[in-house]
Structure 1
Amino acid sequence: MNYAHSITLSAPFDEAVRLTREALAAQGFGILTEIDVNATFAAKLGPEVAATLGDYLILGACNPPLAHRAITADPNIGLLLPCNVVVRRGPGATETLIQAIDPATMVQLSGQEGIQAVADEADTRLRAALDSVQATAAE
Structure 2
Amino acid sequence: MFHYTVEVDKSLDEAVSALEASLKNEKFGVLWSLNMKETLAGKGVELDGDYIILEVCNPHEAKRVLEKSPLVSYFLPCKIVVYKEDGSTKVGLPKPTELIKFVENEELQAIASDIEHRLIGAIDSIK
TM-score scaled by length of structure 2: 0.92
Q: CA deviation at 1:110?
A: 0.7
Q: One-letter code of the match for 2:38?
A: A
* Alignment-derived partner of residue 102 in structure 1: 95
**Superposition map of 1:117-132 within 5 A:** 117-132=110-125
Unaligned runs of 5+ in 1: 135-139
What is the percent sequence identity of the aligned residues?
29
- Per-residue CA deviations over 1:68-121 (Å, capped at 9, x if unaligned) read 11101111211110110000114xx43200002201123211113421121011
User: Secondary structure of 1:44's partner?
Assistant: coil
* Alignment-derived partner of residue 7 in structure 2: 8
| Mapped pair 1:44 → 2:43 | yes
* Alignment-derived partner of residue 137 in structure 1: none
The alignment of Structure 1 onto Structure 2 pairs a total of residues equal to: 127
Kindly indicate whether the alpha-carbon contact (under 8 Å) linking 1:57 and 1:87 is maintained by their aligned counterparts in 2.
yes
TM-score scaled by length of structure 1: 0.84
Match of 1:78 among 56, 73, 81: 73
Greater fraction of residues in helix:
1
User: Secondary structure of 1:114's partner?
Assistant: helix
Kindly indicate whether the alpha-carbon contact (under 8 Å) linking 2:29 and 2:58 is maintained by their aligned counterparts in 1.
yes
